[in-house]
């Protein structure tokens, strides 16, 4: 029997009640070490394992089993699968070229099986890849083989996936995915431009790395990035699209505050368009985003506990939660 969104939404709404709340976050911040965090997560039924990494991996597997069991159309999650494919491609390319172990670094779920990814890179035969990825994969391989320029190799792959995401955002029937993808790509461009300006990147690199997307003037950004970081920052501080002006105010404080602002901006899109939606795929997509942010929160708290960071300092780095 085909699944309906009516059934899926009812199931997700019940599932959301089990997600972490603000009091749960405060309780985690009060713990005295990673071992206590492991016990807390296991007691909450979050996952199984003896370390935070094992518990998060267990939870991720459980989440995807659940989503696959209730989603009428799993292809709606393809933008998130694609990002895993790109991580895996970069990892395999660098591992093969440097003759280093890499298989433990590969992640799932993905649209290209791990064994197919490895075989394609080892034989430099990418014709089995999705059409949009064939050329970037070939070019990235060539750059690594001939110049060992990992940054430029990554730029070709990243540009390929950004172009693909923009296309998926243009054609999707999900209002959430359209806005989320456009926001995500916009800020990937901004980060790339800022790093490029600081590093004195060439016009060639910037042209290849930056993607055309709504409300992003690529030509102007390239021109200003070539003049240096100060000129680019002044321009970005005046841009209101996606609250870029507010993001740059955070950037003036620190790069970590900027990253936090961008993450919270993306979460706000999910909360606004998914959290209280009563039809379509948005509630399922929002639940997935909520689970991703829970994992980020746990990693940040675990890192702070490991380094004996005061709770108030850990709290400053935390992103919002979906609940």
Mean residue pLDDT across the chain: 94
Residues 316 and 293 in one domain: yes
Residues 165 and 78 in one domain: yes
Residue 272 lies in a domain: no
pLDDT at 2: 63
pLDDT at 144: 93
Domain residues for the domain of 165 are 74-171
Residue 263 lies in a domain: no
pLDDT, mean of residues 83-94: 94
pLDDT, mean of residues 231-250: 98
> Residue 276 gets which letter from DSSP?
T
Entry pTM: 0.92
Residues 59 and 32 in one domain: yes
Residue 1 pLDDT more than 60? no
Residue 5 lies in a domain: yes
Cα(226)–Cα(201) distance, integer angstroms: 7
pLDDT in tens, 260-318: 999 999 999 999 999 989 989 999 999 999 999 999 999 999 999 999 999 999 999 99
Peptide bond into 51 cis (omega under 30): no
Cα(80)–Cα(72) distance, integer angstroms: 17
Residues 25 and 90 in one domain: no
Helices (H) and strands (E) in the chain, counts: 16, 0
Is 272 in a helix, a strand, or coil?
helix
Domain boundary among the residues 208, 237, 254 is at 254
């Amino acid at each position: 029997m085909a699944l309906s969104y009516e059934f899926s939404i009812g199931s997700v709404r019940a599932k959301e009640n089990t997600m972490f709340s603000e009091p749960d976050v405060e309780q985690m911040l009060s713990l005295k070490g990673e071992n206590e965090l492991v016990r807390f997560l296991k007691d909450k039924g979050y996952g199984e394992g003896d370390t935070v990494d094992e518990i998060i991996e267990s939870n991720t597997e459980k989440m995807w089993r659940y989503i696959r069991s209730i989603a009428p159309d799993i292809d709606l999650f393809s933008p998130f699968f694609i990002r895993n494919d790109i991580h895996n491609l970069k990892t395999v390319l660098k591992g093969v070229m440097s003759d280093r172990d890499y298989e433990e670094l590969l992640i799932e779920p993905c649209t290209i099986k791990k064994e197919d990814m490895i075989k394609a890179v080892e034989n430099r035969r990418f014709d089995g890849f999705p059409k949009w990825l064939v050329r970037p994969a070939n070019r990235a391989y060539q750059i690594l083989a001939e110049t060992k320029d990992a940054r430029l190799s990554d730029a070709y792959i990243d540009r390929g996936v950004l172009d693909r995401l923009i296309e998926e955002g243009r054609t999707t029937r999900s209002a959430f995915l359209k806005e989320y993808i456009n926001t995500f790509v916009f800020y990937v461009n901004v980060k790339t431009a800022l790093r490029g300006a600081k590093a004195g990147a060439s016009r060639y690199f910037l042209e290849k790395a930056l993607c055309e997307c709504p409300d992003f003037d690529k030509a102007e950004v390239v021109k200003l990035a070539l003049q240096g970081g100060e000129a680019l920052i002044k321009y970005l501080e005046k841009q209101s699209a996606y609250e870029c002006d507010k993001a740059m105010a955070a950037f003036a404080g620190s790069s970590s505050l900027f990253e936090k602002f961008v993450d919270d901006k993306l979460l706000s899109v999910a909360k606004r368009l998914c959290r209280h939606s009563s039809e379509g795929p948005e509630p399922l997509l929002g639940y997935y985003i909520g689970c991703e942010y829970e994992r980020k929160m746990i990693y940040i708290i675990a890192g702070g506990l490991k380094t004996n960071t005061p709770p108030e300092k850990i709290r400053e780095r935390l992103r919002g939660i979906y609940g």
